C-alpha cells in the first residue's frame, strides 16, 4: 500500500481518539466523575433508559458506546435521520429473541431522537416499559419539546455541557501524547486561543482542526501551531472543517437576520440552504416562533399565531411538504411590520428585579383567603376594574418603590400607535 492509500485508510483523528472507557472520557464530570449519578448507575449495572441532551461534539455517542462495552451489553445504533418504525421493530424483535436465551438486555442508542416522529417514538414505548431493551437517546434539542410525554416519563434526562478550557487542554494533551500519528510529529503549540475559540467547546471540532493542520506531514516533521496557523488553515479548509454541519449556527443566524431585516429573498435563500443540508425542519420552525415574538411582537400579534401553527403543521406533516409551510411562514414574517418592545419590556423588568430584589406586593393587590389576612388589610381598597366605566380604574399596580416606573414603551407602528393612544387616554399620560 502506497503512502497516499495508507493515509486514506487511517481514520480521522476524532475517531482515533474516541475514548474506550470512562477514565479516558473527557468532560461531563457532573455526570461521569467519581461518585456522580450516571457513573454510579453504570458501575452498579442497574441501567435505566435515559436521554443525553447537549450540543454537538460533547461525547453523547461515545458515552453510549462506553456504557455498552463496560456492561457487556449488545449495542444497536439507529440514526433518526434514516431509520423508521420497521428498523425499531426489528431491533425489538431481536432483543426479545435474545431474552429467551438469557442474553444481557441490549442497549438501543438513537442519535438525534428529537427527529423521530410520534409514531416512531410510540413504537419504542412497550419495549422500554417492559425492559426488553434499555434506550439511550441523544439530542441537541430540548427533549421536553421534541420527545413525547409517555416516552419522556420513562427516561431520565441528563444534560451534557460544552467542554471547558480545562477539558479541551486535557483532550489536546492526550492527543499529542497518545495518537499514533501525532506522537511521531514534532508539534510545538505556541498559541491555543484560536484552537479553543474555533472549537467552541466541541471535542470533535478541536481534533478536526489538529487533523487539518497536520494532514500533509510525515513522521519526524516539525510544525508550530499558533493562532495565525489555525486561522489560515481553517480559511483554506472551511469545507472540511464544516463537514459535520458546523456552519449550522452561521446559516441560522443569517436566516434570522434576514427575517428581522424584512428581506424575504434572503430569508428564503438561507432557509433553502438549511433544508438542502438536511437541517431539521422543526428547528427552523421553532426559531421562527421565537422571532415572531421577539422581532414582530405587538406590531402584528398574528405573526406568533402563524409561527406556532407552522411549528405544529411541520411536526404533523414532515418533509418534503413541510418546506411549503416553512416558506409561507418565513415570507409572512419577513414582510411583516417589526417591533421588539416585548423583549425590551421583559428584559427591562428583569433587570429591575435583579436590582431592587423582592419588593413587597402592595396590600390592596394581595389575596385574602383567610380572616387573618383580611384583618391585616390584604385586599383592602382593591378596585375591581370591571365595576367601573370602560372596565378601567386608576389605581397603583406597582410596588410603592417603583411607582411611576415604565417598562413598556409602544413602538412606532400602526397597532402600537393605537395602544399608545389607549394608554394615554385611560392613564391620562401617566404611562
231 and 253 share one domain = no
Range of the domain at 199: 165-241
Strand, helix or coil for residue 101: coil
38 and 151 share one domain = yes
User: Which CATH number does the domain housing residue 261 bear?
Assistant: 1.20.272.10
Query: Rounded to whole angstroms, how far apart are CA atoms 254 and 222?
Result: 39
219 and 297 share one domain = no
Q: What is the pLDDT of residue 230?
A: 82
CA 420 to chain centre: 37
Task: Give the helix/strand (H/E) hosting 188.
Answer: strand 186-189
User: Which CATH number does the domain housing residue 209 bear?
Assistant: 1.10.8.60
138 and 34 share one domain = yes
In a structure prediction context, what are the per-residue pLDDT tens digits for the chain, which is 431 residues long?
444 444 446 788 888 888 888 888 888 888 888 888 888 888 888 888 999 998 887 888 899 999 988 888 889 888 877 777 888 888 888 888 776 656 778 889 988 888 887 788 888 888 888 888 889 999 888 888 778 888 888 888 899 888 888 888 888 888 888 888 888 888 888 888 888 887 878 888 888 888 888 888 888 888 888 888 887 777 665 545 454 454 567 788 899 999 999 999 999 999 998 888 778 898 899 999 999 999 999 999 999 999 999 999 998 888 889 999 999 999 999 999 999 999 999 999 999 999 888 898 888 888 888 888 788 888 888 998 999 888 998 998 899 889 888 899 899 999 999 999 988 888 886 65
Q: What is the pLDDT of residue 80?
A: 76
The Cα-based distances of 79 to 83, 140, 375 in angstroms read 6, 13, 64
61 and 181 share one domain = no
Asked if 140 and 281 touch (Cβ cutoff 8 Å), the reply is no
Asked if 159 and 53 touch (Cβ cutoff 8 Å), the reply is yes
377 and 411 share one domain = yes
Asked if 293 and 341 touch (Cβ cutoff 8 Å), the reply is no
Angle between helix 264-276 and 248-260 (nearest 10) = 160
Q: Name the domain boundary from 119, 141, 159.
A: 159
- 416 domain residue, yes or no: yes
Which of these, 40, 79, 71, 43, lies nearest to 158 by C-alpha position? Answer: 40
207 and 139 share one domain = no
- Biggest CA–CA distance in the chain, Å, is 93
149 and 175 share one domain = no
173 and 268 share one domain = no
- 58 domain residue, yes or no: yes
Residue that has been written with the C-alpha cell 454541519 in this structure: 245
Q: What is the pLDDT of residue 236?
A: 62
Count of beta carbons in the 10 Å neighbourhood of residue 23:
9
35 and 151 share one domain = yes
399 and 303 share one domain = no
C-alpha cell at 207: 481534533
C-alpha cell at 403: 411607582
C-alpha cell at 313: 403543521
- 11 domain residue, yes or no: no
Taking the whole predicted model, whether its pTM rises above 0.75 is answered as no
CA angle 415, 418, 419 (to 5 degrees): 90
User: Which CATH number does the domain housing residue 421 bear?
Assistant: 1.10.3710
Amino acid at each position: 500500500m502506497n503512502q497516499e492509500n495508507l493515509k486514506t485508510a487511517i481514520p480521522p483523528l476524532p475517531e482515533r481518539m474516541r475514548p474506550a472507557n470512562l477514565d479516558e472520557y473527557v468532560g461531563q464530570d457532573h455526570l461521569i466523575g467519581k461518585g456522580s449519578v450516571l457513573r454510579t448507575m453504570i458501575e452498579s449495572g442497574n441501567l435505566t433508559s435515559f436521554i443525553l441532551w447537549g450540543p454537538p461534539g460533547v461525547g453523547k455517542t461515545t458515552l453510549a458506546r462506553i456504557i455498552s462495552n463496560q456492561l457487556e451489553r449488545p449495542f444497536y445504533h439507529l440514526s433518526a435521520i434514516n431509520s423508521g418504525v420497521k428498523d425499531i421493530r426489528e431491533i425489538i424483535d431481536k432483543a426479545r429473541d435474545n431474552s429467551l436465551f438469557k442474553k444481557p438486555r441490549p442497549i438501543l442508542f438513537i442519535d438525534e431522537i428529537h427527529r423521530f416522529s410520534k409514531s416512531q417514538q410510540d413504537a419504542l414505548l412497550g419495549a422500554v416499559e417492559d425492559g426488553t431493551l434499555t434506550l439511550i437517546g441523544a439530542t441537541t434539542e430540548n427533549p421536553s419539546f421534541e420527545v413525547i410525554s409517555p416516552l419522556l416519563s420513562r427516561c431520565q434526562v441528563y444534560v451534557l455541557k460544552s467542554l471547558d478550557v480545562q477539558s479541551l487542554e486535557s483532550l489536546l494533551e492526550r492527543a499529542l501524547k497518545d495518537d499514533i500519528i501525532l506522537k511521531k510529529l514534532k508539534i510545538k503549540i505556541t498559541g491555543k486561543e484560536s484552537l479553543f475559540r474555533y472549537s467552541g467547546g466541541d471535542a470533535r471540532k478541536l481534533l478536526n482542526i489538529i487533523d487539518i493542520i497536520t494532514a500533509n506531514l510525515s513522521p519526524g516533521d516539525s510544525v508550530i501551531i499558533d493562532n495565525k496557523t489555525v486561522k489560515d488553515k481553517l480559511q483554506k479548509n472551511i469545507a472540511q472543517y464544516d463537514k459535520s454541519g458546523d456552519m449550522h449556527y452561521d446559516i441560522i443566524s443569517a436566516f434570522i437576520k434576514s427575517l428581522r431585516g424584512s428581506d424575504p429573498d434572503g430569508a428564503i435563500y438561507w432557509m433553502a440552504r438549511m433544508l438542502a443540508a438536511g437541517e431539521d425542519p422543526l428547528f427552523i420552525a421553532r426559531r421562527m416562533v421565537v422571532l415572531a415574538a421577539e422581532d414582530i411582537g405587538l406590531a402584528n400579534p398574528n405573526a406568533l399565531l402563524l409561527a406556532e401553527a407552522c411549528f405544529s403543521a411541520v411536526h404533523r406533516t414532515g418533509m418534503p411538504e413541510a418546506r411549503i409551510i416553512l416558506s409561507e411562514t418565513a415570507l409572512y414574517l419577513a414582510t411583516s411590520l417589526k417591533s421588539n418592545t416585548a423583549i425590551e419590556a421583559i428584559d427591562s423588568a428583569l433587570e429591575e428585579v435583579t436590582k431592587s430584589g423582592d419588593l413587597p406586593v402592595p396590600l390592596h393587590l394581595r389575596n385574602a383567603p383567610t380572616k387573618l389576612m383580611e384583618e391585616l388589610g390584604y385586599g383592602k381598597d382593591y378596585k375591581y376594574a370591571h365595576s367601573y366605566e370602560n372596565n378601567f380604574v386608576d389605581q397603583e399596580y406597582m410596588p410603592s418603590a417603583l411607582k411611576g416606573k415604565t417598562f413598556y414603551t409602544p413602538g412606532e407602528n400602526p397597532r402600537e400607535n393605537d395602544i399608545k393612544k389607549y394608554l394615554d387616554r385611560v392613564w391620562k399620560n401617566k404611562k
